[in-house]
A and B are shown apart, each in its own frame.
Chain A
Amino acid sequence: MNQVDTATSVVPTRPWVASRSSQTKGLAAPLIIGIAAYLIVLFTGFAGADGWALLFFLLILAMSFVRSRKLGKTKLTNSMFNVVITGGALLAFAPWLSIFYSLVSKGFHGIYLGYFYHDMRVTTPDDELNLGGVGHAIIGSSMMVLIATAITLPLGILSGVYLTEVRGRLTRLVRFVVQSMSGVPSIVAGLFIFTTVVVTTQTFSGFAGSLALSILMLPTVARTAEEVLKLVPEDLRSASYALGARQWRSSLMVVLPTVRSGLTTAAILGVSRVIGETAPLILTAQSISSFKFNPFSGQIASIPMYIFALLQIGTEYSMARAWSGALVLMVIVFSLFVVARRLGGKDKR
């Protein structure tokens, strides 16, 4: 009997994927269409990048129609929707890509070493970009965010512990309220703190600002804390109870330590949520142009308000500084994200 030798190497293939050559041939048509669209834009009323994009889209759509017309109605619809959905997705992503690009291209001019440790006390709107800085705003934002974290992290953890450990009768209510609270408009949070704290203390303050930020930060921290605590396997709790531990010991000494990095993530995500908020600060901390280290009396600087103030001045250099401040803020948020993602995987499961 002939034994087929299965040890001879057989090469895995993917016959359903278009071959290299037909893939490159497939790119030829869109490329030609792109160039055609560009030429049309140059010579007619379709102006600008958006004109080109629209033209490109319509031409590709037409090409798909012509190509798939003979394949039957379902294949035709499929091809057309391929184009429509891809186009729609690109349009959805375009603003964010544009923002990221602008942050770098426009903000990069104003960045110099001194930008980080100077303030705007002596800088006029027409001073060149190697003067002035965002240092005061960084300090102010950091102080406010720190205070807000000190307030919301414990409350968020308590909320998470309630929902996962204590699991009392109000569980559904608490969860619902936490979720709904994330919809409070930032200006309303500012308005509330203004009515209560600012009016009573007769002064704007960084502290009032951090209270307003806390209102906006708490839902994020609480929700993340709950998710992180939910990941703790039930066996861990069971083992602890089976050893005779009381609930509070079990929570504090067994459950919480295992989610340490997860809770740090909750704090970081909360910070990234509020560090860019402007509206609440308009009503509570306002803004100033010099360094200040006391968050409890008087106005204080912050990065979003720094940007906001510069935007309203509107001179060429102010706008450039606004972009630079925004770039700094974006880098901070991005770094927070990266750290949060790293930490996210580190909990011992």
Chain B
Amino acid sequence: MSDSGLITAPQAVPEKREMHVVYSLGDRIFRRIVTAGALTSLVILALIGLFLFARGAEIFRDMGLKFITGVKWATGSEDGTTAAEFSIGPMLVGTIIVSFIALIVALPLSIAGALFIEFYSSQRLKRTLVSLLDLAAAIPSIFFGLWGIQIFSSIAEKWSILLNSYLGWFPLFSNEMQVFGRSPFVAGLVLAAMITPIITSISREVYSRTPRELVDTCYALGGTRWGAIRTVVMPFGRSGVVGGAMLGLGRALGETVAVYLILNLVFGYNFNILEAQGGNIASLIATRFGEATPYELKGLLAAGFVLFMLTLSVNMIATSVVQRAGKDHS
């Protein structure tokens, strides 16, 4: 081939040249400072885990696995004749029970709320509801404690009594003491109200990203609104909703004040959710903190460490699920 006009004859492909970005001194300092600032979150997170573990280490050593599986939280006597024994088993189980009640109640309501806002409301109503949702997500947990005690308790107590009278034969709903009102069931319901805004918010956002044409196609094929939702919207939003549910679960696991105020703290395994006793790790810490001996304090720190790891793992899984859902569907 010879040169023709403006086109040079093709050559063999040359070696690649390396391209480096060389930063000036000012830029290098800038980048160092910025990176250090950005890494503070990582440092804080690591420090929290480290400190809690370090201070609680003695308890882990003394109790071993019984810290998780034992049944007692005993401070021991002053003269040392009875040893202190700390274990969080009942509180760990209590944490999970209350959080799961909250999730089971909150999830269907949140999905309904998200679908309603996205597909069943007019433009103006939708804007109002989204603002309401944001405001609801900002309600501090102490308000839920306040509302729970003063207003919702009596209603939930009535439901508990009803539940017990019809389904009391089923172990979960039985109640020996016949005292209702400050049970894991009530606390779970209050937590459900607390985590619904987050789950609804995330679900709504995922549903709103459903490709318009897929929904249109359902209608073009002669489907109804529910048909379109069932066929396209819900499968599309599934992973996002799961991520949102896990974030809500994470919030419920760590909730302190509402549970402290509503649930009657009794240290023991309780699977009868209508019975007025229970607790979770967070409220245990809040309750015992004031009068704790130094050794008990270490026990509380060990408990805090377990709670920290639990919520951190749930949140990390939730974050990756939500992030992946966002990427798949962008």
A residues at B contact (CB < 8 Å): 47-48, 50, 74-75, 77-78, 81-82, 84-89, 91-93, 95-96, 98-99, 102-103, 106, 154-155, 157-159, 161-163, 165-166, 168, 170, 173-174, 176-189, 191-192, 195-196, 215, 218-219, 222, 246-249, 251, 272-273, 275-279, 282-283, 304, 307-308, 311, 319, 322-323, 326, 329-330, 333-334, 337
Contacts and interface: CB of A to CB of B under 8 A. Distances in A.
A188 B200 contact: no
A84 B27 contact: no
16 contacts: A75-B224, A81-B226, A81-B229, A87-B112, A88-B111, A89-B109, A155-B41, A166-B31, A174-B38, A177-B41, A185-B308, A187-B254, A187-B285, A248-B27, A279-B286, A326-B143
A74 B34 contact: no
Contacts of A283: 289
Nearest to B222: A74
Contacts of A81: 226, 229
Nearest to B303: A191
Given A188-B308, A248-B27, A88 B227 contact: no
B34 A162 contact: yes
B39 A174 contact: yes
Contacts of A87: 112
A72 to B, nearest CB: 10
B48 to A, nearest CB: 5
A77 B44 CA distance: 52
A170 B31 CA distance: 12
Given A47-B158, A176-B319, A326-B143, A155 B37 contact: yes
Interface string B139-169: 1111111110111100100110000000000
Contacts of A74: 223-224, 227
Nearest to B54: A195
Closest 8 CB pairs of A and B: A276-B140, A185-B254, A158-B37, A88-B112, A183-B315, A89-B116, A248-B30, A162-B38
A170 B143 contact: no
Interface in B290-329: 300-301, 304, 307-308, 311-312, 314-316, 318-320, 323
Given A77-B226, A88-B111, 8 more contacts: A92-B200, A96-B193, A180-B316, A187-B282, A187-B307, A218-B40, A246-B26, A276-B141
Given A92-B200, A188-B307, A99 B45 contact: no
A338 to B, nearest CB: 10
A39 B277 CA distance: 37
B38 A180 contact: no
Contacts of B87: none
Interface SS of A by simple majority:
helix
Given A89-B116, A166-B31, A330-B143, A185 B225 contact: no
A278 B142 contact: yes
A77 B229 CA distance: 12
Interface stretch (B67-75, B129-137, B208-216, B268-276): B129-137
Contacts of A155: 37, 40-41
A215 B49 CA distance: 13
A48 B143 CA distance: 23
A184 B304 contact: no
Nearest to A183: B315
A326 to B, nearest CB: 6
A165 B110 CA distance: 37
B41 A178 contact: yes
B134 to A, nearest CB: 7
Q: Which of the listed residues A166, A322, A330, A337 has the most CB atoms from chain B within 10 Å of its own CB?
A: A166
B240 interface: no
Contacts of B193: 95-96
Contact of B30 (A85, A89, A182, A251): A251
B120, B144, B256: most-surrounded residue (chain A CB, <10 A): B256
Given A99-B143, A246-B26, A89 B42 contact: no
B202 interface: no
B66 interface: no
A165 to B, nearest CB: 7
Contacts of B286: 187, 279, 282
A330 B144 CA distance: 12
A277 B31 CA distance: 34
B37 A246 contact: no
B47 A192 contact: yes
Nearest to A247: B27
A154 B52 contact: no
Interface in B208-260: 223-227, 229, 247, 250-251, 253-257
A192 B120 contact: no
A308 B307 CA distance: 23
Interface string B196-207: 110010000000
A218 B38 CA distance: 11
Contact of A184 (B45, B135, B227): B45
Contacts of A277: 140-141
B319 A161 contact: no
Contacts of A106: 150
